[in-house]
Structure 1
């Protein structure tokens, strides 16, 4: 066991780390309730602090005292007393029937309501009509000597967690996984002024978006939600990107539901990637072909990305036909070499990609199943220092697996000099040494690009032997140009001929499968840059 976890109060130590970090960096953002909580928490007896943290780190906010048995804490009721006195824990909360059933076993349901056939869900449905009002646990289950604790601090603790992580998807387990060595993070000198939120308004706006999304995901009616959707631009670029993404996603939902006018308006307010193409498609569905064509023409003259350009290449000919306009000559494309194989269907769980890998593999021409892992990993290793540069706003807590602005439009621009220096190594032989050095020095550290489990020394050596530096540089520049889109879509397999210092990429398609858009874009790129790539279509012999 790691030394950090030998301390039975490791979780309490981690919680103190979080509130100390927040007190140092976010003191001006804390409201009175949060300040009082931190001060009062520090003044509690250790057992009470530990019990509260144990409950906060578990799911839900209702806990049976009998289930809170921890040797290091001791008597649960004694530890809970100061928490109850502060009003942080309610020892007699009123429970509705659904909450009660969530706390009881089926045998205990029988003890409360009498034995009856059926599962808990069936029993709950049957008893709801007769028991609509909430009651204390002792009224529901008078023969039990147990009690229920309701923790009323979850929102405060969530806000503190949000300040620390800058998001609500990371939780307390990050500390434990790091202590265990399951997650290993690059150590970055984080300035005391570094933080994810500039002011309280930023924090509240994040929570506004989060709560709106929670209600939306829960199925609340759109006519109630839409008036509360934040439409105005927010001053924090990172938060405004979240707002624009939300508008886009709600627009997609409305489009799928046939609310085309609403979708059109939402897409028009969001410049999130793909929003302009969706506007064109909605205009087309509404029969506004002239408007759709004009917008498509404008987009085509300055496309936001390769993905948008690809969509427009399909949309414009269709709109031309509908408007009776003359056809334009199709854009030239480079054909990709095709392989057709008929193979015996492998036993599960062997995939079609692995079947082709085994079929093509030779001792002097090994085949590896790499998909998106190899080129991304080589890029991540060569450019490690640029990716993990401690720029303002990039890192603000110890648990970043990559910079917070990784998918921001200006990610590359902010680090242009650093990336230029990394990629310049590909103009000579220095890149091989750099990649190997980083591979050894950073082994196992989390990265948004490096797939340690898929990259062993054999694969690394073969890749550095066979992949030309000029082609690596072209691929790395493409990844940098649109990280979100271009980290994916790479061919499934790579075959090396180490003695001849050559290779080929192979995209595998099983019966009925077809090339996806991002795969087509990579294939076109490879053909343009004379990167050897083939598409292998597989049929099963018995078919």
Structure 2
């Protein structure tokens, strides 16, 4: 897909045309009669009418003042509107309620039009609205609100249709047309993934309708609607489409969390019980605990402990089980042993605090020898992203919809690795035969600057890569990469702050830095436990500041 320069005043129209072409080429079999008619009629319009339509699509809402639809590159607004009105795509709204009227008109226009009904015409616009709301005025046409309307209002009628087009192109409804602009400016560059009919996530018309319904329910949740009403709208929901099923699971998990916030414990339990989200099981235990159903919580926790699904569950259960046992009157449980890691106690001059605790420690360790870098989560993630680039950007069904994706849609799903097993086996196999170093360097050169969910280009350079590949054993990298794949959402963070290389000796050490009063977080503890289990050299550095003499 060719991006058009924003120097062209009609760049947005060119981009919209490309979206329609993309959808027509790849989803023609899923389009209904109205959508096919729209594509044909849009193509027959003159450029000014097309451009004005796109301007309305890109703006918020569906109601517009005609005097705010004035664009130099379009020319006369009335002439551009005429063919859109003839097609029934734009019309005068049949009626407007009071709130819509206040959103469209200026304060002076409202004060003049309602002069006889306002007790305080000079009040703020919000106060004017409050005064009129008390009168319970019914919706009506603009001509019945004002004998001489101060401006004409037009209504754009095909936003749902264009939203369906946007869904089929982007694969979601939270991306918008600004992605084209960023690409036009060269600010974002994306890997070009091959697309085939088999790679589509939406395979039948019903998939489009279900995706729209899920998005609408998610919007209602964000707007604070009652979870019970949203769950009622989802009653009977079913799809054999794996991509939609994953989106449904994420929505159910969010609904369960909202039920928890509202202390609707039974509803939360019911939602989590039917949810396949990776954290749904542990949330059930937490709900039972928070609602003081100790026996049920303890029984479920014991069941989960027999076969925990991931490291997050293991960690949570290690805390929950002793706590629940105490609630049931059991004996005190032994405290969980501390993480087995080298401890460094540092006292640094207080004037170094201005550097930040990580940089102060980095400089101190560098004086002792070796090359020390502040990398936190960036280095291991980047090495993984470079080695496994081919697997991450494999065109599996439901992963990529359009040329503007920095990551596959299913990146955080539990079957992400499984769906690309052959690709990941090939990539990780390079760690076994020693070809991983050259593969990473080749990818670094070939993919420089392309968007990736793992590669942090600004912090990477050939010097750091060379040191890392010389000092990090392939076996250690493989352990880390497999752990990442177990739970990408949670395991891509929590890695130690610093890494220290001794290239001459071919060894390294990771260092987690903690300033005064700072404690290890859960994801950091999990990484430290992982390092201890697999023999990765790691230390925890506790810093205190030495007061000036």
Indicate which of 419, 439, 464 corresponds to 1:459.
464
User: Does the 8 A contact of 2:376 with 2:495 survive in 1?
Assistant: yes
| Residue-by-residue CA offset, 1:341-395 (whole Å, 9 max, x unaligned) | 45537788x6543454455444954433322111101110011112222234433
Kindly state the Cα deviation for residue 81 of structure 1 after the two structures are TM-superposed.
0.9
Further displaced range: 461-470 or 521-530 = 461-470
Kindly state the Cα deviation for residue 162 of structure 1 after the two structures are TM-superposed.
0.7
Q: C-alpha separation between the residues in 1 aligned to 2:105 and 2:353?
A: 44
The answer to whether structure 1 residue 20 and structure 2 residue 26 are counterparts is no
Indicate which of 125, 129, 147 corresponds to 1:124.
129
Further displaced range: 110-119 or 269-278 = 110-119
Further displaced range: 337-346 or 187-196 = 337-346
Q: C-alpha separation between the residues in 2 aligned to 1:144 and 1:346?
A: 67
Q: C-alpha separation between the residues in 1 aligned to 2:149 and 2:29?
A: 47
Q: C-alpha separation between the residues in 2 aligned to 1:259 and 1:10?
A: 50
The answer to whether structure 1 residue 408 and structure 2 residue 413 are counterparts is yes
Q: C-alpha separation between the residues in 2 aligned to 1:338 and 1:231?
A: 55
Map 1:30-49 to 2 at 5 A: 30-49=31-50
The answer to whether structure 1 residue 344 and structure 2 residue 367 are counterparts is no
Using a 3 Å threshold, how does the CA distance of structure 1 residues 281 and 391 change in structure 2: closer, same or farther? closer
User: Does the 8 A contact of 1:163 with 1:196 survive in 2?
Assistant: no
**Match of 1:415, SS?**
helix
Kindly state the Cα deviation for residue 24 of structure 1 after the two structures are TM-superposed.
2.2
Q: C-alpha separation between the residues in 2 aligned to 1:339 and 1:122?
A: 62
Kindly state the Cα deviation for residue 326 of structure 1 after the two structures are TM-superposed.
6.6
Map 1:216-231 to 2 at 5 A: 216-230=221-235
Q: C-alpha separation between the residues in 1 aligned to 2:518 and 2:249?
A: 33
Q: Report the counterpart of residue 475 of structure 2 in structure 1.
A: 470
TM-score (norm 1): 0.89
User: Does the 8 A contact of 2:199 with 2:396 survive in 1?
Assistant: no
Using a 3 Å threshold, how does the CA distance of structure 1 residues 102 and 500 change in structure 2: closer, same or farther? farther
Kindly state the Cα deviation for residue 523 of structure 1 after the two structures are TM-superposed.
0.7
Indicate which of 395, 403, 416 corresponds to 1:398.
403
User: Does the 8 A contact of 2:93 with 2:154 survive in 1?
Assistant: yes
User: Does the 8 A contact of 1:505 with 1:534 survive in 2?
Assistant: yes
Q: Report the counterpart of residue 372 of structure 1 in structure 2.
A: 377
Q: C-alpha separation between the residues in 2 aligned to 1:110 and 1:393?
A: 53
Q: C-alpha separation between the residues in 2 aligned to 1:236 and 1:343?
A: 60
Further displaced range: 298-307 or 89-98 = 89-98
Kindly state the Cα deviation for residue 244 of structure 1 after the two structures are TM-superposed.
2.0
The answer to whether structure 1 residue 155 and structure 2 residue 160 are counterparts is yes
Further displaced range: 57-66 or 533-542 = 533-542
**Match of 1:367, SS?**
strand
Indicate which of 279, 286, 293 corresponds to 2:284.
279
Kindly state the Cα deviation for residue 52 of structure 1 after the two structures are TM-superposed.
0.2
Kindly state the Cα deviation for residue 64 of structure 1 after the two structures are TM-superposed.
2.6
Using a 3 Å threshold, how does the CA distance of structure 1 residues 118 and 471 change in structure 2: closer, same or farther? farther
Q: Report the counterpart of residue 527 of structure 1 in structure 2.
A: 532
Cα-Cα RMSD: 3.0
Q: C-alpha separation between the residues in 2 aligned to 1:409 and 1:220?
A: 29
Q: C-alpha separation between the residues in 2 aligned to 1:538 and 1:109?
A: 63
Kindly state the Cα deviation for residue 511 of structure 1 after the two structures are TM-superposed.
3.9
Q: C-alpha separation between the residues in 2 aligned to 1:358 and 1:118?
A: 61
Q: C-alpha separation between the residues in 2 aligned to 1:111 and 1:300?
A: 70
Kindly state the Cα deviation for residue 513 of structure 1 after the two structures are TM-superposed.
3.1
Q: Report the counterpart of residue 240 of structure 1 in structure 2.
A: 245
Using a 3 Å threshold, how does the CA distance of structure 1 residues 472 and 118 change in structure 2: closer, same or farther? farther
The answer to whether structure 1 residue 8 and structure 2 residue 13 are counterparts is no
Indicate which of 501, 506, 515 corresponds to 1:501.
506
Q: C-alpha separation between the residues in 2 aligned to 1:10 and 1:257?
A: 47
User: Does the 8 A contact of 1:369 with 1:493 survive in 2?
Assistant: yes
**Match of 2:542, SS?**
strand
Q: Report the counterpart of residue 172 of structure 1 in structure 2.
A: 177
TM-score (norm 2): 0.89
User: Does the 8 A contact of 1:90 with 1:150 survive in 2?
Assistant: yes
Further displaced range: 49-58 or 96-105 = 96-105
Using a 3 Å threshold, how does the CA distance of structure 1 residues 327 and 444 change in structure 2: closer, same or farther? same
Kindly state the Cα deviation for residue 522 of structure 1 after the two structures are TM-superposed.
0.4
Q: C-alpha separation between the residues in 2 aligned to 1:374 and 1:108?
A: 59
User: Does the 8 A contact of 2:250 with 2:277 survive in 1?
Assistant: yes
Q: C-alpha separation between the residues in 2 aligned to 1:347 and 1:409?
A: 42
Further displaced range: 472-481 or 115-124 = 115-124
Map 1:351-362 to 2 at 5 A: 351-362=356-367
Further displaced range: 255-264 or 515-524 = 255-264
Kindly state the Cα deviation for residue 51 of structure 1 after the two structures are TM-superposed.
0.6
Q: Which runs of 5+ in 1 are unaligned?
A: none
Kindly state the Cα deviation for residue 93 of structure 1 after the two structures are TM-superposed.
5.8
